[in-house]
Structure 1
């Protein structure tokens, strides 16, 4: 197998791993009553620090109008509330509710689920982490570094 074929095989396998992770996550999100987009939005909210919707839009890398629809869904489900910011009464902040904290914990758990990697030894896991880091470095902001 030449380098181009080898690289193509790796890309196909990475795509398969990504699809397997996404399928598992989407299934659990559906069980939690969330769309993948709503789950990601809830994941990005810090339950201990209310923040304006524009901050959430920035973290999600999307238009604020899209965030409004996501927050509407989360609010209708009782997971998030819009509250007036005591420091600036003209502004609303997003607050994760008590039930929202529980659902968010489930979202965080499934987004960190590593069962797919259970067959790897610690050494293999470190090697895979380092290799994935190496190939993702160009597309990932410095803040992604959790080593």
Structure 2
């Protein structure tokens, strides 16, 4: 495929978007493989990553953080509990509700999930200056950050 000329702004933009999507797909592929090696699905890994080990969280709050239905979180919590990564405990401030508590093993796996989500091997070929420039450009096109809707990992 021939690259667009520097004067072809729409062509350059389209090519850039396709390349960004390719990089995103490659990152997702590497993350999914690494998460699977931990015995987790991408959704379960994301749920575990969203849980703060020092602050138990009701499943409904986790559903809100993940932007999904509570029924989906029930299944995720079941899988995490079966794997020994979380426990359901009665909330001491509201005994009608249960919270999700990250176990000791869950803390270890959560830390590994965090490393997987920060895997930067695709960027290894960049110099520090190139990496800094790429970060600035990505920051700029993401409007100075990530909108709420793109919180998905």
Instruction: Return the TM-score normalized by structure 1.
Output: 0.91
Structure 1 unmatched runs, 5+: none
Instruction: State whether structure 2 residue 74 is matched by structure 1 residue 51.
Output: no
Paired position in structure 2 for 1:104: 110
Instruction: State whether structure 2 residue 32 is matched by structure 1 residue 26.
Output: yes
Paired position in structure 2 for 1:67: 73
Paired position in structure 1 for 2:43: 37
- What secondary structure sits across from 2:57 in the alignment? coil
Q: Could you tell me how far apart the structure 2 residues matched to 1:45 and 1:38 are?
A: 11
Q: Which runs of 4+ in 1 moved over 6 A?
A: none
Q: Could you tell me how far apart the structure 2 residues matched to 1:70 and 1:8 are?
A: 37
Structure 2 unmatched runs, 5+: none
Instruction: Return the TM-score normalized by structure 2.
Output: 0.87
- What secondary structure sits across from 1:48 in the alignment? coil
Of structures 1 and 2, the larger Rg is shown by: 2
Q: Give the helix-richer structure, 1 or 2.
A: 1
Partner of residue 131 from structure 2, selected from 125, 131, 145: 125
Alpha-carbon RMSD: 1.7
